[in-house]
Amino acid sequence: MKILLLYPQYPDTFWSFKNSLNFIKKKALMPPLGLVTIAAMLPQEYEIKLIDMNIETLKDEHLLWADYVFISAMITQKDSVHKVVERCKTLGVKTVAGGPLFSNLHTEFPDVDYFTLDEGEETMPLFLEDLKNNTLKRYYRSSVKPDIKNSPVPRWDLIDLKAYVRMPIQYSRGCPYDCEFCDVVKLNGKVPRTKAPEQIVRELNAMFGAGWKGPIFFVDDNFIGNKKETKELLKALAEWKRTTKHKTSFKTEASLNVADDEDLMQHLREAGFNSLFIGLETPSEESLAECGKFQNKNRNIVDSVLTLYRNGFEVSAGFIVGFDSDDTTIFKRQIEFIQKSGVVIAMVGILQAIPGTRLHERLKNENRLLTECTGSNTDFSLNFVPKIDPDVLVEGYKQIVKTVYSKKEYYERVLTFIRNYNHKVEDCFTAGALSAFFKSILYMGILDKSRRYYWRTFFISLFRYPHAFTKFVTMSIYYAHFRKIFLEYAKV
């Protein structure tokens, strides 16, 4: 049996970092963790190949080689999926689809032959058994939330490690918070399920055994969803780093209450974590209550972010406008909020109603849905009727991104960050770091119109905050991407 694992192409979005990858000679941010995990579930006698369309071109010969093409995708890859499925149908190749996109929107893909929906540990064995017995059904679903301690070690040997910026690993699924706009609880449950520390160590050893030496991103829905279990993992990671001498750094997603726990932050530092993505969303208490973001309420959010900086963590964050509680003052308030926070990687978006969320269900019941969302909340589109005037919302959003991604405001946030950043965890050095540094000087310090702000921040960082200088270089490279996404593609 020949299986082609296929990962469709991402559009050029906020998180693609496409316009920054050339600085470090990489082709994509991360490989498809879901597919290499599914690969480890397939029988050993199967022939398996993997094509990531974000790093290589899909050819007809790849498709014709396969008995079945397994496709996994996120909602932002929807357009690419449609094209791939059409090609497979034309060539007479059978398709099997799974992953978040299809679990929520499988009805949009009538030409897919088989669906293995929900969590692969439950549905893939059912599919494989029927494949073996020649009794395949079109749909395989399960409401069971599997014990991920039984998940296999991903097949890292199937991917070109050199093409990616970082490697993904998953420790837990699920989140104790059920924000109205988020589909995590629907997909993975409210009670976090975790892997055993020794399991994560095995996965890391397999990854490094395959040749990886760079940073690693824990792709958990909320890495600290179960703090007690997380602290035990962090102790194991710290010991793993001590014994192996690996200097890799870790990044992850967490809720803002991480800043309330000194012991947890210490364990994170000792394990090698230096970067966190956190949903900050909005400075409006009313909007936080509306969407159920209670972990952010009744606190000074900016002070919490600064606490994380002082404890050695870079913070990237999501911000949203378009809540029912928002009025015309929210745009100025959001700009001030972002600037005071010093969050350089600020993903600002218009609220989107994603299928599978409580928000989607509520707006559907209120007859306010316009269309299904694109999966990118930074593309200036609306998929529901907001309470605020739609034109005012879109124009206000444009003003936010035009301001926070202008040269002056962007580098002001860089300075706010490095002035507060207490460097406690080593950054992972890569062979391309020096080349990226000189490219940043050429493109951002000489050729770019923002060079005045670049050089001011360059020298302040170099002479007054040298511990944060590598962060400055990285953030200047990021600006090449963000400016392209927000200021040129959107023509704001």
98: nearest Cα among 124, 78, 76: 124
391: nearest Cα among 383, 400, 382: 382
254: nearest Cα among 196, 310, 296: 296
317: helix, strand or coil: strand
216: helix, strand or coil: strand
Residue 474, C-beta contacts closer than 8 angstroms, at least 6 positions apart:
none
Give φ, ψ of 224 to 5 degrees.
Answer: -105, 25
**Do the Cβ atoms of 120 and 106 come closer than 8 Å?**
no
The amino acid occupying position 32 is P
95: nearest Cα among 83, 283, 445: 83
Q: Report the pLDDT value the prediction gives residue 470, as an integer from 0 to 100.
A: 87
Q: Report the pLDDT value the prediction gives residue 488, as an integer from 0 to 100.
A: 57
Q: Report the pLDDT value the prediction gives residue 385, as an integer from 0 to 100.
A: 97
Q: Which two tokens stand for residue 490?
A: 């959107």
Q: What whole-number distance in Å separates Cα of residue 341 and Cα of residue 335?
A: 10
User: What structural domains and CATH numbers belong to the chain?
Assistant: 2-140 (3.40.50.280), 166-420 (3.20.20.70)
13: nearest Cα among 28, 31, 32: 28
Q: What whole-number distance in Å separates Cα of residue 108 and Cα of residue 82?
A: 9
Q: Which residue has the tokens 């007859």?
A: 367
The pTM of the full predicted model, rounded to 2 decimals, is 0.93
279: nearest Cα among 258, 309, 254: 254
373: nearest Cα among 32, 75, 121, 157: 75
**Do the Cβ atoms of 74 and 187 come closer than 8 Å?**
no
In 43-134, which ranges are continuous DSSP H helix?
60-65, 78-91, 100-105, 120-132
Buried b (16+ CB within 10 A) or exposed e, 390-399: eeebbebbbe
149: helix, strand or coil: helix
Q: Which two tokens stand for residue 219?
A: 């792709």
Give φ, ψ of 311 to 5 degrees.
Answer: -95, 10
Q: What whole-number distance in Å separates Cα of residue 74 and Cα of residue 34?
A: 11
Q: Report the pLDDT value the prediction gives residue 372, as an integer from 0 to 100.
A: 82
Q: Report the pLDDT value the prediction gives residue 442, as an integer from 0 to 100.
A: 74
What are the pLDDT tens digits along the chain (492 aa)? 999 999 999 987 766 767 677 777 889 999 999 999 999 999 999 999 999 999 999 999 999 999 999 999 999 999 999 999 999 999 999 999 999 999 889 999 999 999 999 999 999 999 999 999 999 999 999 999 999 999 999 999 999 999 999 999 999 999 999 999 999 999 999 999 999 999 999 999 999 999 999 999 999 999 999 999 999 999 999 999 999 999 899 999 999 999 999 999 999 999 999 999 999 999 999 999 999 999 999 999 999 999 999 999 999 999 999 999 999 999 999 999 999 999 999 999 999 999 989 999 999 999 999 988 877 666 788 999 999 999 999 999 999 999 999 999 999 999 999 999 997 655 544 545 666 777 778 767 777 777 889 899 999 999 999 888 889 988 988 888 887 776 655 555
Q: What whole-number distance in Å separates Cα of residue 487 and Cα of residue 481?
A: 10
Buried b (16+ CB within 10 A) or exposed e, 18-46: bbbbebbebbbbbbbbbbbbbbeebeeee
Buried b (16+ CB within 10 A) or exposed e, 114-139: bbbbbbbbbbbeebbeebeeeebeee
Q: Report the pLDDT value the prediction gives residue 243, as an integer from 0 to 100.
A: 97
